Amino acid sequence: MPDENKRKSNGRIKWGGLLVALFLLLYIPSLVFWVYGKNIHTDIIRMGELEDYVTTDAYIIRNETVINSPSDGISIRNVEEGEKVGVGDTIATILNKSSEKLLEDLKTLDLRIIEAKREKTKNDNFFSDDIKKLDQEIQEKLVFVIKQSNKNSISEVKQIKNDIDELIKKKATISGDLSYTDANIKALENEKKILQESINANKRNIVSDSSGIISYVVDGYEEVLNPEKIPEITPEILDMIKVVENGNKSDDLSTQYNKPFVKVIGSIDYYIVFVMDKEEADDFKVDDYLNIRINDIGRVVDGTVAYKSNEFDGKFVIAVRTYKALSDTAALRVVNVDLIKSRYEGLIVPVKSLVNINTSTMEAEIALVKARRATFVPVKIIGKNNNFAVIDNVENYKDGGISLYSSYIINPQNIEEGQVIN
């Protein structure tokens, strides 16, 4: 009996061990995948653009001629900010302080003239029918007088003449009222003419001696930040300018005697100047072509590196010449820019999805997902920055390669060739 119980107990142990082994065989791989496989994220290859750029503050340097105001007063602009003028064009008119009251009087007088003309039009429309009616009655009575005269009816003629006189008086009264309105308008217009002559006697025109773009923002650096003086500019000079606000606002219409009022920007070329640390400055050489995004106006301009200074304690001053967006930047001095060193377009993926990157040949590998398995494919790196890369197929690779919407593993670290990817 004890032996039989022992045999039954051993049988239960064998079956239990077998069940444990089956559990481990079936569920341990699933457990491993749940712990590790859930971190395998995939995506699809898309088309995109990639820029390698440096963001920095820059300074705009132009050929600028400053014009001072001839008197204290208020300016009336003939040319707006950023517009072009030619030689001899009137930029603005300066009215002195005494003209301010005259201008207010002129506005009041204009309103009175408008109101008088409106009243005259109303009266003309109102009385025109009455005058026509009176003219018709006078004409009829004159015809009747002629007829009665031919009949020698003196008494009848005398009465009709009295009636005609009354009609003429009514017409004269109405016409007199209208004539008074006309005379009033003429008097007001004469008064306006005299007022305008007084204003003209107290105004001064600012005329341009050269052609160029107009800017009413005069910041006091027009002499220092001159294209001819670019070789004299140091990082310290630009740092000083960075913290100084513009001296004038472009919407300020007031003027002061012999103080800067407006400037004419000559030449179509201007310079975008910036400071670079030695490591970054090595990427910029004289005559290099460069795209610059001016973030203040949302424009990308192209230009060439026209100047690169000697080293100043590990820093360089670099000037890029351009002729784009001159009018849009006329009121700006310090701007925030992206210096776009290169731009690429094509199939784009995160840099972290590439492995075995060879910086000398600009080749790498990417883990594609084909038939639910990881397949490492060689690719050519067209361009990259710290986060993304534009890639293409390696020449003579015949096993499919990459294409638009190919599925790939975002972070292929610790992924093996042929590994199942769920």
Burial class (CB in 10 A: 0-12, 13-18, 19+), 62: buried
pLDDT tens digits, 140-160: 666 665 665 555 555 555 566
Q: What is the pLDDT of residue 54?
A: 92
Enumerate residues 6+ apart whose C-beta is below 8 A from 6.
none
Cα–Cα distance, 116 to 100 (Å, whole number): 25
CA–CA–CA angle 307, 309, 311 (5° rounding): 155
pLDDT tens digits, 2-42: 555 545 555 555 656 666 666 655 555 555 554 444 568 99
Q: pLDDT band at 196, cuts 50/70/90? A: confident
Does residue 169 surpass a pLDDT of 70? no
Provide the whole-model pTM: 0.63
Q: pLDDT band at 292, cuts 50/70/90? A: very high
In DSSP terms, 47 is beta-bridged to 347
Domain ranges of the chain: 2-38, 40-50+345-409, 54-89+211-343, 97-201
Helix (H) / strand (E) element for 382: namely strand 373-384
Q: What is the mean pLDDT of the segment spanning 187-198?
A: 75
Does residue 243 surpass a pLDDT of 90? no
Output DSSP code: residue 410: S
Topology of domain 54-89+211-343, per CATH? Elongation Factor Tu (Ef-tu); domain 3 (2.40.30)
Instruction: Give, in words, the CATH class of 40-50+345-409.
Output: mainly beta
Q: Which of 55-59, 108-112, 236-240, 245-249 has the highest mean pLDDT?
A: 55-59
Q: pLDDT band at 121, cuts 50/70/90? A: low
pLDDT tens digits, 306-332: 999 999 999 999 999 999 999 999 999
